[in-house]
Each structure stands twice: as C-alpha cells, then as structure tokens.
Amino acid sequence: MSATYSHAPGFVAGDRPKIVTSRFEFADSFTLDRYLATNGYKGLRAALSRPANEIHDDVKSATVLGRGGAGFPAGTKWGLTPQQVWPKYLVVNGDESEPGTYKDRLLMERDPHQLIEGCLIACYAAGLSQCFLYIRGEMALAQERVAAGLNEAYVAGYVGKNILGSNFSVDIILHWGAGAYVVGEETALIESLEGNRGMPRLKPPFFPAVNGLYGQPTIVNNVETLANLPWLLCNGVDAYTAVGTKTSPGTRMVAVSGHVKRPGVFEIINGTTTFRDLIFGEEFCGGIRNDKQLKAFVPGGGSAPWFTADQLDLPFEASQVGPAGSMLGSGAVIVMDETTDIPAAALTLTHCYAHESCGKCTPCREGGTWLERILRRIVDGDGTDADLQQLLEVGAMICPGDFPHAANAQLGLTAVPFPYKMTTICFVGPSAFAPVHSALTLFRSEFESRVTKRVTIPVTAVSAVKKVTPVGAH
Amino acid sequence: MSRLTDKNLVIAKEIIARYPRQKSALIPLLHLAQEQTGYISREAMVHLGELVGVTSAEVYGTATFYEMFRFEPIGKYLVNICGTMSCALMGAHELMHHAEKRLGVKAGGTTQDGMFTLAHAECQAACTEAPCLQVNYRYRLRVSTTDLDKLIDDLEAGKLSEEIPAHGVLAKVRQHIAPDRVVGAVSPELVNQAPAWLNGKAAL
C-alpha cells in the first residue's frame, strides 16, 4: 500500500523505482545535510572525474527525454548549439503553470539540491557558462527552498568558483517570474529573463540553442529533466535505461487530479504504465470517486485533446498517444466522471488560455476571446445552434485543417493524429481551442441540448412589425 | 516616497550585478519594490529605470505584462482562488461564491477595511489538492467553505502573520553569493572562448 507524506502534500510514494523522488520520504529532504547523507553531489563528483564530452555522451545514450511537454531528448538538444560561439547559457524552466501539472514545484520544494546538482552536470557536460533558474512567481516556497539550497551549496563549494576544487566554475542565478502562463514557452521565458514582456519569439530565427538569451546559444531545460541527471551519473546509463522502455526510459512524474478516489502525484515507470493503471489501479488513484463512470480525461495537461474510456489502455508513451490523437505533454491527467458538465468544464480551460494570451498573435488574442465568449453564452443558456459552427470556424482560424481527436467506437470516430497546424507562434492559441474541439467532437449532444434553435425572421414578418400599434400613448 | 530604500538599494545592486545585462534584473527588482510598499508606484518605476538603464516607460511596459504586479494599493491579504479545471471540478466556483459572500466583495474587489483582496486565479499547481487557494502566495489545500471561514477569521485575528507576510513579500530567503565564491556575470562582450573545463580532460 502506498503512503502519502504529510510534508509533501499531493505526492504518493509506492513500491516503484524512484529516480527523482527518492528523498521525498524525509521530512528534511530539502536540506544539504539530508542530501549529502543520501548520495548527494556524488553524481557531480562522478561527472567531474571524467571529460565533459563523455558526460554529454552518457546523457545522449540514456535518452533522457525532456519532461516539459515536447519530450525532446536532452542530450540531443545540448548538441544543437553551434560549436564556436561562446558563451552559452543554461536556462532552467521552473515556470510550471500548465493546468493539471505539478511536479516541478514539488521537486523544487522537496529536493532543491537535486535540481542544483542537475544544473551543474548539464553546465559541465554541455559547456554552459552561466545558469539561470527561473521559478514561477507564485511559488513562494519553491523560491525560498531553492534560495536556501543555493546559499548552502555555494558555501559548501558545490556551486560557484572552482567547484570541488576543479577548474569547473559556474554560477547558478535564482530568477523568478511574476505571473504569466505564456512564459513557460521557452522563447517567452528568455524574453522575460531579459526583463521584457514575456512574449514568444518567432522560430526561426530564434531557436534558443542558436539564438537565445542575449542572442547567445542557450539551452532551456525543464526542472524534472535536470533532476534526473544526478541519479543517472550515480547509477550509470545501463541502470537508467533498465527502467521504462527503449524509447521512453526512466520514470516520469504524473499528477492525476479531478474525480478520482485518491488524486495524487506519482513517479511512474515511463512507457509502460497505462492510463487505466493510473486512474483505476489500487496503487494509484483507485478508481472514480463514488464509483461513478468515467466520462472523459485530459491525458497531458490542459492543452491536450481529451480521451474517453476507449483510450484507457494506452501506455504513457509518446509514440502511441500521438497517433491516438493527443499528447503526453507535461504529465498531468485530469479525470471527469459522468456528472461532469462538459461545456462548463471546457470553459474553465478555454477561459484560462484566453486570459493568458500574450496578445502577440491575432488568431490567439482575438480567437481565444471569441471562443471563451461563445462558450460562455452556451453554458449560460444563451447560445444558439449557430454558435456550435461558429466555435469550429473560430478554431479553424487558429488551427487550420483537421484538429487531432481521439477515436470513439460509440460515435464511429477514427482518430486524427497529433500534432495540428497552427497560425500562432506558440501553443497558447491552439490550447484554447483543444478543450472546445474535444468537447464538441466527443460530446456534441450536450451542446445541442443546451442551445436554442436559431430563429430566422422572414421578410413578411418584418413588414408586419410596422403594423403593430405602439405601446403607450403618444 | 516610494523609491527604493537604502537597504533595498543594496539588495538591488547585488541582484543587478548577477546578470550580463542589467535589464534582466527588472522583474526581481519590481518584486523588491512591491515588497517595500505592497504595490509598485510611479516613483519606484522611475527609480528602477535609472538603476538598470532603461526609461520608466520600459519599466512600465514590462511590469504591466505580469499579473502579480499591482499599481495601486490592494488588501493586506490577496486571496487567490484557483478556478481552472481540476479545482473547478472539485467545487472551486462554490468556494468563490462563498468567499464573495463572506468578504462582501466580488472577485477582483478589496474589502473596505483594506484587509482582503479577493481574486480569481488560474492553475496554481496544486491540482490533486483541489480546490486550492493562495493567500499572498502561500497555499491552502482542499479548502472547504468552513476552512475558508476559519482562514479569514485567523487572518483577521492576526494569527497567521508569522507564516503569511503582508502582500508583496514572496520568498523570505534571498540568494546570497559570497564574493570569494562568485564567478560573476558571463557577458558575451567579455567571453568569446570555450570554458576552461572543455579541454577534453576531467575537471577533477
């Protein structure tokens, strides 16, 4: 039976391999003392005792996938920077704000030294001269714990000048945001770090690996991705790839929230654990609350198209979830039971993305707001049947062509694979449409029963209006 | 006056020195100004502009993009109730209605005594502990309407002032780098070669 640690609310341990959450069971997991007593900074020591390019090769052959959403292998990403341009920077993306997701916050609050060590290993292996650790503004405790961790690590000689007495020197600068979802996008994060409004940059030319922070080659890695590195360096590539599958090795953290009996954050085995395990398995969420029926679930954070019971047996493996019409994203499953008001549920997400649009791209700025307004009047009972078509037309301005959705046997639908085409720079715009499209495709009847049929006023009726006697005396 | 105090000016200069470009320090400095007064005044923005070498209009441009920055006084306690999907599925709307009734203000409003500002927030990354809220960015999880009443009672009675500082204060611990440990900002103007440890040999 799995245990929840009261000092790490939300996190549920279990009898599974633990790569990034191994210290969560200790109440003092965030201190340097505890860290050093549990293999802390041994990965760094192991890394520094070998040439940097070998460490880079290790990370490449272990296929450490990016845990931020896109799932791009970290080792490959590090290799994309130009060879002769210096300095290069590391920017750590701790601006976790995707609806449904929280793992980076726990990793920063509960084990800041693991993240710090991961940053150091990345800087050493990829030759990055300065590291900026960007934490979401609203996460006061994470900022506090990482600041305290960095202060301890600097004093103890693990960060800063001549680390462990070697010729490896790097500063890790704690930086924090101020409340903007879009800054989780890597180019917007860089803009924000330069002190500007956090609006995404167009790629090309602004691929961070080539033209990032201050125009220099910049690696942007997610917190969880970097938190994997100390364990990898301590235990070796073979031990790492022994967990999970060939294409998705290791573990990953997944938050399952919504209408389940025991919502929680779990470190699961990558590639093999299925959505059914997660939602219904006794060691995970234990089924739907009050033993109701599952209606739908969001498989990969608020931006992901929805799945229904038909997709429960898919594993947490990008190469299978993509063709099935959605994405794994940032490791967040949101479960809806049969009592869920689907249009209202979609509205909460569309409202979020419309609200968080930075305003740079017209389809997102205008389209997101339109989607929200139309959806709101449907939910409020003021919509007409024309609104349903209007939703899809507005969505097609943001994402032209077929939008991904899941197969559904009952409705006779076949899957449209991920990804979609988009007319915006980043994914905020499409994300506003994703819940609307999923809800409309899979649960259209719930919308139809809610809207009134549009009444067309015939021309004769208009002329009839003129004959009406005015109300009141004139 | 709400330019930075002498004490905060020292902190500001320490922060600025960490970045290859001064303007990068802007968001941390805006937080510092907000910590000092509870909101960001025009004078503070002029001062920050002088410190990082940009116009006050540029400071204003950056500041207004981010939701956490306020440009007029708000309540001592900012109560952000999450309303995104996971929380909404678990009763966030009901919680918001209750909070509006209890505090006598609509979402976005501030109570007359200046104690509370109530706001609707987007996902706060505590989705399994829904519905959740933050008071001055400190979490309260699985909040029932009774919990909310108790929270407001406690805040009014000053029982939580130790844990929850007045609006504007984020982390209570600041990063500090001792002069003998710091590498210093690595700016593209000063560095144009590979770092020392990339010489094909082990660093240790």
For an interface test with B, which of A110, A130, A355, A379 has the most B Cβ atoms less than 10 Å from its Cβ?
A130
A472 vs B90, more confident? B90
If contacts are CB pairs under 8 Å, which of residues 162-181 in chain B contact chain A? 170-178, 180-181
> Which member of A9, A150, A336 has the closest CB to residue B141?
A9
Angle at A178 between CA A298 and CA A145, to 5 degrees: 85
> Which member of A137, A161, A334 has the closest CB to residue B85?
A334
pLDDT in tens, A214-260: 999 999 999 999 999 999 999 999 999 999 999 999 999 999 999 99
DSSP H helical ranges for chain B: 6-16, 26-37, 42-52, 56-63, 85-89, 92-103, 145-156
Cα dihedral B165/B169/B172/B174 (nearest 10): -170
Between the CA of residue B52 and those of A173, A195, A439, B27, B59, what are the distances in Å? 17, 10, 48, 11, 9
Give the pLDDT band (50/70/90) at residue A6. Answer: confident
Q: Name the least confident of A56-60, A381-385, B48-52.
A: A381-385
What is the rounded end-to-end Cα distance, in angstroms, of chain B?
53
Q: Indicate if the pLDDT at residue A91 is higher than 60.
A: yes
For A32-236, CATH number out of 3.40.50.300, 1.10.357.10, 3.40.50.1100, 3.40.50.11540 equals: 3.40.50.11540
Q: Indicate if the pLDDT at residue A458 is higher than 90.
A: no
Between the CA of residue B160 and those of A9, A321, B142, B153, what are the distances in Å? 20, 46, 18, 10
Angle at A387 between CA A381 and CA A392, to 5 degrees: 135
Q: Is A13 helix (H, G, I), strand (E, B) or coil?
A: coil
For B77-156, CATH number out of 2.40.110.10, 3.40.30.10, 3.40.50.300, 3.40.50.10860 equals: 3.40.30.10
Q: What is the pLDDT of residue A464?
A: 54
Name every residue whose Cβ is closer than 8 Å to that of residue A304 and which is 6 or more positions away in sequence: A298, A326, A327, A328, A329, A434
| A251-333 belongs to CATH 3.10.20.600 | yes
* pLDDT in single tens digits along all 204 residues of chain B: 589 999 999 999 999 999 999 999 999 999 999 999 999 999 999 999 999 999 999 999 999 999 999 999 999 999 999 999 999 999 999 999 999 999 999 999 999 999 999 999 999 999 999 999 999 999 999 999 999 999 999 999 999 999 999 999 999 999 999 999 999 999 999 999 999 999 999 999
- Concatenating the DSSP letter of every residue in A134-198 gives EE-TT-HHHHHHHHHHHHHHHHTTSSBSSGGGSS--BEEEEEE--S-GGGGSHHHHHHHHTTS--
Q: Indicate if the pLDDT at residue A468 is higher than 90.
A: no
Tokens 């109701």 — which residue?
A: A292
Q: Indicate if the pLDDT at residue A267 is higher than 70.
A: yes
**Chain B residues inside the 8 Å CB shell of A302:** 84-85, 123
Contact between chains at A102 and B90 (C-beta distance less than 8 A): no
Q: What is the pLDDT of residue A70?
A: 86
Q: Indicate if the pLDDT at residue A462 is higher than 80.
A: no
Q: What is the pLDDT of residue B1?
A: 57
Are the C-beta atoms of residues B99 and B77 closer than 8 Å to each other?
no
Name every residue whose Cβ is closer than 8 Å to that of residue B133 and which is 6 or more positions away in sequence: B79, B80, B81, B82, B95, B121, B124, B139, B140, B143, B148
- B11 near A CB under 8 A: no
Domain ranges of chain A: 32-236, 251-333, 342-448
Contact between chains at B67 and A336 (C-beta distance less than 8 A): no
For B6-63, CATH number out of 1.10.3720.10, 3.30.565.10, 3.40.50.1820, 1.10.10.1590 equals: 1.10.10.1590
For an interface test with A, which of B181, B182, B192, B201 has the most A Cβ atoms less than 10 Å from its Cβ?
B181
Q: In angstroms, rounded to a whole number, what is the distance separating the alpha carbons of residues A185 and A201?
A: 10
- B112 near A CB under 8 A: no
Are the C-beta atoms of residues A111 and A24 closer than 8 Å to each other?
yes
- CATH architecture of the domain with residue range A342-448: Up-down Bundle (1.20)
Distance from the A267 Cα atom to the nearest Cα atom in chain B, whole angstroms: 14
Interface confidence (ipTM) of the complex: 0.98
Name every residue whose Cβ is closer than 8 Å to that of residue A469 and which is 6 or more positions away in sequence: none
- The whole-number average pLDDT for the span A364-378 is 97
- Concatenating the DSSP letter of every residue in A422-458 gives -SSSSSHHHHHHHHHHHHHHH-HHHHHTTSBPPPP--
Contact between chains at B65 and A181 (C-beta distance less than 8 A): no
Q: What is the pLDDT of residue A470?
A: 58
- The whole-number average pLDDT for the span A68-83 is 94
Q: Find the helix packing angle between B6-16 and B26-37, rounded to 10°.
A: 160
- Concatenating the DSSP letter of every residue in B159-172 gives TTTTTSPPTT---S
Q: What is the pLDDT of residue A50?
A: 98
> Which member of B138, B176, B197 has the closest CB to residue A140?
B138
Average pLDDT of chain A, as a whole number = 95
Nearest CA in chain A to B62: A197
**Chain B residues inside the 8 Å CB shell of A196:** 23, 61-62
> Which member of A101, A144, A173 has the closest CB to residue B125?
A101
Give the pLDDT band (50/70/90) at residue A1. Answer: very low
What size, in residues, is chain A?
Answer: 474
Between the CA of residue A164 and those of A235, A259, B136, what are the distances in Å? 20, 49, 39
Are the C-beta atoms of residues A196 and A203 closer than 8 Å to each other?
no
Q: In angstroms, rounded to a whole number, what is the distance separating the alpha carbons of residues A7 and A31?
A: 14
Check for a shared fold between B6-63 and B77-156: no
**Chain A residues inside the 8 Å CB shell of B84:** 99, 302, 348-349, 352
For an interface test with B, which of A78, A129, A297, A360 has the most B Cβ atoms less than 10 Å from its Cβ?
A129
Q: What is the pLDDT of residue A459?
A: 67
Q: Indicate if the pLDDT at residue A7 is higher than 70.
A: yes
Domain ranges of chain B: 6-63, 77-156
**Chain A residues inside the 8 Å CB shell of B26:** 195
